[in-house]
Amino acid sequence: MRLGSSLAARAFTLVEMLIAMAIGVAIIAATLTTSVALQKSFYSVDNYFGTHIQQIRIVDYLARDVRRGLSVVSSADKHTVTVNLPRYIIQAGDADATGSNIGTPRAPSLAVVNRDYNINYLPTSASSSSVVVYSISGSSILRTEDNVVTMIASSTDSLLPETVDVELANTEYTTTAITFQPLSVADRNGTVVYSTAYLRNRRRAIPTPSPSATP
């Protein structure tokens, strides 16, 4: 007895193949699109926090120098800040350098002018101080002290001090607001970091009340 067998070939039809290919292409495209979107999101977040760290670094550097400074002057465009620092350490070539005291802290002196107390660390016969200048060069923030340049921040999205509010030279304090523009956001208003630093070498005298008249 013979068993019959069907020799008919079984396979996908052309329509089924096209549908399967279309579904596969759609899945691959969705996977690639999601991957690219995640990569962009991760890059934007990394750029945001990396630039924010540099923003904080600028505030810390500027506030430190202002606290130690004798005077602070900003340029008209608010993009350059000049701080005059006292020479706390005796250096070779200073008027009060004797050889053995080089590298030692200098004793401060106190001057009172119009009831304004000024603490001074300058050499006794010198009028110059250490000058620190903050400036913008392209997308970098530079700190220059006595012709020595240090780059304290660099950003591809042009990290710029928006305002440096300094009332006058030899003020008691400075208020600084620094912003940056994230890659994914056009508005930089939400990135402002404010800082207020007081010049510790400036001391205001407390007004003395006038004596009351006696009857």
Tokens, residue 99 = 């050889």
pLDDT computed for residue 144 by the predictor: 92
| Structural domain includes residue 18 | no
| Nearest by Cα to 70 from 146, 127, 125, 31 | 127
pLDDT computed for residue 90 by the predictor: 80
Q: Where in the chain does DSSP place strands (E)?
A: 71-74, 81-85, 109-113, 116-120, 130-137, 140-145, 148-154, 160-165, 173-179, 193-198, 202-204
| Structural domain includes residue 110 | no
Pairing verdict, β 116-120 and 71-74? unpaired
pLDDT computed for residue 26 by the predictor: 92
| Structural domain includes residue 135 | yes
How confident is the model over 153-179, as pLDDT tens digits?
876 565 555 555 444 444 577 788 888
Counting the structural domains of the chain, the total is 1
pLDDT computed for residue 203 by the predictor: 54
pLDDT computed for residue 9 by the predictor: 58
| Structural domain includes residue 58 | yes
CB neighbour burial string for 62-84, b if at least 16 within 10 angstroms, e if fewer: bbebbebbbbbbbeeebbbbbbb
What domain range is 189 assigned to? 34-86+129-204
Which residue numbers in the chain have pLDDT < 50?
Answer: 126, 165-170, 204-215
| Structural domain includes residue 21 | no
Strand partners, 40: none
Q: By three-state DSSP, how is residue 100 classified?
A: coil
| Structural domain includes residue 12 | no
| Structural domain includes residue 68 | yes
- The C-alpha atoms of residue 166 and residue 83 are separated, in whole angstroms, by 11
pLDDT computed for residue 206 by the predictor: 42
Q: pTM for this one?
A: 0.65
How confident is the model over 109-131, as pLDDT tens digits?
777 766 666 677 766 554 557 88
| Structural domain includes residue 60 | yes
